[in-house]
């Protein structure tokens, strides 16, 4: 989550939670601080509470020291540099024997050259960017696998589908440039929504109290068996930028879906509707509060205040379901959209567009 540069400038880039899955305002800050000059995505307003299942505690996790010894050699310290020497640092982790390393999009954005060091004692390796996806804050770098020590093993990817609050969470990364740092905690909550670097929502996010600080971005969040369950991406902080013990990780199930596409094409085109919505006050659906100009629905009968109930045959009970329904389709597909206005149900035909690089204010 970090970028090193020995200047003392302070730069803040604000991202606002926009789009069809909007259930509340989340402001994320790419903060640059002190001697490390490390950008960090910081949530100033904590995401609105999502439903979290309650269950009995599981067995205690295995030895953290054993897990660290086994996995830390596969965790990367990443230096990303752009034109004029500007750049920063972050974390990542090895996922296969071909030299592919997963990190955050916001660690590599705007950079042109990359250096990776696996483990605390690894040699600096030149890396190239294979692909990145701002919509999920995931990116993939590649190093020459022949230059990786034979003792360095890829991290095992688990599934985030069966996680429960209270499960063990272990973060390894390079906070403030201190590579090989391990912190522990638990999964505090599930199914949070945070804002991606391009302003669209990332759903299904894991919340953890394992300490995450500038420099942890892109590093792995592990379970009690040392398997990757998420990619550390953002923290919630006070105005003084002190960590509050509330961190957010992109779930590994998202990584499992996105990375193969990045390895194949380098980028991902997603379907786009062009509305911003909010929950209904007393009824199911996604209530439109803004329509983006020149979007697929800009010239249709849909209006702010309408309550969207169905898209492409999928019932919509809240804004997150609308976002998911859109992403189940491909750009260019035609879908039926059903909405209600003053008790009157209407259906329109919409040709989905391609999600832009940044959200557009409606």
Each residue of 64-110: pLDDT tens digit? 999 999 999 999 999 999 866 667 899 999 999 999 999 999 999 88
Q: Mark whether 4 and 17 lie in a shared domain.
A: yes
- Write down the catalytic residue from 106, 167, 209, 223: 106
- Asked if residue 115 lies in contact with residue 103, where contact means CB atoms within 8 angstroms, the answer is no
Does pLDDT of 39 surpass 60? no
- Torsion over CA: 268, 48, 236, 39 (sign): positive
Which domain range does residue 124 map to? 1-268
What mean pLDDT do residues 284-310 have?
95
Task: Tell me which H or E stretch contains 126.
Answer: strand 125-133
Q: Mark whether 313 and 340 lie in a shared domain.
A: yes
- Write down the catalytic residue from 160, 174, 188, 217: 217
Residue in the structure block whose two tokens are 């991290």? 155
Q: Residue 106 catalytic? A: yes
The pLDDT score that the predictor gives to residue 238 is: 64
- Cα–Cα distance for residue pair 160/206, rounded to 1 Å: 9
Percent of the chain at pLDDT above 70? 79
- Write down the catalytic residue from 37, 105, 133, 137: 137
Each residue of 321-358: pLDDT tens digit? 998 899 899 999 999 999 999 999 999 999 999 998 77
- How many structural domains compose the chain? 2
Does pLDDT of 55 surpass 90? no
- CATH number, domain containing residue 348: 2.30.42.10
In a domain, 117, yes or no: yes
Each residue of 169-211: pLDDT tens digit? 999 999 999 999 999 999 999 999 899 998 888 989 999 999 9
- Cα–Cα distance for residue pair 212/178, rounded to 1 Å: 12
Q: Mark whether 98 and 42 lie in a shared domain.
A: yes
- Asked if residue 114 lies in contact with residue 267, where contact means CB atoms within 8 angstroms, the answer is no
In a domain, 222, yes or no: yes
Q: Mark whether 67 and 179 lie in a shared domain.
A: yes
- Asked if residue 38 lies in contact with residue 32, where contact means CB atoms within 8 angstroms, the answer is yes
The pLDDT score that the predictor gives to residue 84 is: 66
- Cα–Cα distance for residue pair 141/232, rounded to 1 Å: 16
Does pLDDT of 51 surpass 50? no
Q: Mark whether 142 and 173 lie in a shared domain.
A: yes
Q: Mark whether 39 and 181 lie in a shared domain.
A: yes
Q: Mark whether 136 and 184 lie in a shared domain.
A: yes
Q: Mark whether 284 and 260 lie in a shared domain.
A: no
- Cα–Cα distance for residue pair 111/177, rounded to 1 Å: 18
Q: Mark whether 275 and 311 lie in a shared domain.
A: yes
Compute how many other C-beta atoms are within 10 angstroms of the C-beta atom of residue 348.
Answer: 13
Does pLDDT of 50 surpass 60? no
191 pairs with which residues across the strands?
Answer: none
Q: Mark whether 329 and 186 lie in a shared domain.
A: no
Of 56, 59, 95, 57, which is closest to residue 75 (Cα–Cα)? 95
- CATH number, domain containing residue 213: 2.40.10.120
Q: Residue 217 catalytic? A: yes
Least confident of 47-56, 115-124, 172-181: 47-56
Q: Mark whether 227 and 340 lie in a shared domain.
A: no
- Cα–Cα distance for residue pair 347/342, rounded to 1 Å: 14
Does pLDDT of 310 surpass 50? yes
In a domain, 359, yes or no: no
């Amino acid at each position: 989550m970090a970028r090193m540069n020995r200047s003392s400038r302070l730069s803040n880039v604000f991202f606002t939670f926009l789009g069809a899955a909007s259930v509340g305002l989340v402001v994320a800050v790419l903060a640059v601080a002190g001697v490390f000059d490390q950008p960090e995505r910081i949530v100033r307003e904590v995401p609105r509470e999502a439903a979290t299942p309650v269950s009995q505690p599981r067995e205690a996790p295995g030895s953290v020291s054993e897990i660290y010894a086994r996995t830390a050699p596969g965790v990367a310290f990443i230096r990303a540099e752009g034109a004029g020497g500007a750049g920063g640092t972050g974390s990542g982790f090895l996922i296969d024997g071909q030299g592919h390393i997963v990190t955050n999009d916001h660690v590599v954005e705007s950079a042109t050259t990359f250096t990776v060091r696996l483990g605390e004692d690894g040699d600096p390796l030149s890396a190239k960017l294979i692909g990145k996806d701002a919509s999920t804050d995931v990116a993939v770098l590649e190093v020459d696998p022949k230059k990786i020590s034979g003792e360095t093993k890829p991290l095992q990817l688990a599934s985030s589908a069966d996680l429960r609050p209270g499960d063990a969470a272990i973060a390894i990364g390079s906070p403030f440039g201190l590579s090989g740092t391990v912190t522990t905690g638990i999964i505090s909550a599930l199914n949070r929504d945070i804002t991606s670097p391009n302003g669209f929502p990332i759903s299904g996010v894991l919340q953890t109290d394992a300490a995450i600080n500038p420099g942890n971005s892109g590093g792995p969040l592990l379970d009690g068996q040392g398997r990757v369950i998420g990619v550390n991406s953002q923290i919630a902080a006070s105005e003084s930028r002190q960590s509050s013990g509330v961190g957010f990780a992109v779930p590994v199930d998202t990584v499992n879906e996105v990375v193969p596409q990045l390895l194949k094409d380098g980028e991902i085109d997603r379907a786009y509707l062009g509305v911003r919505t909010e929950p209904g006050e007393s009824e199911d659906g996604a209530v439109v509060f803004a329509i983006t100009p020149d979007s697929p629905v800009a010239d249709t009968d849909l209006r702010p205040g309408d309550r969207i109930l169905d898209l492409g045959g999928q019932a919509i009970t809240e804004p997150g379901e609308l976002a998911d329904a859109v992403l189940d389709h491909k750009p260019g597909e035609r879908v039926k959209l059903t909405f209600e206005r003053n008790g009157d149900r209407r259906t329109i035909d919409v040709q989905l567009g391609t999600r832009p690089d940044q959200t557009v204010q409606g």
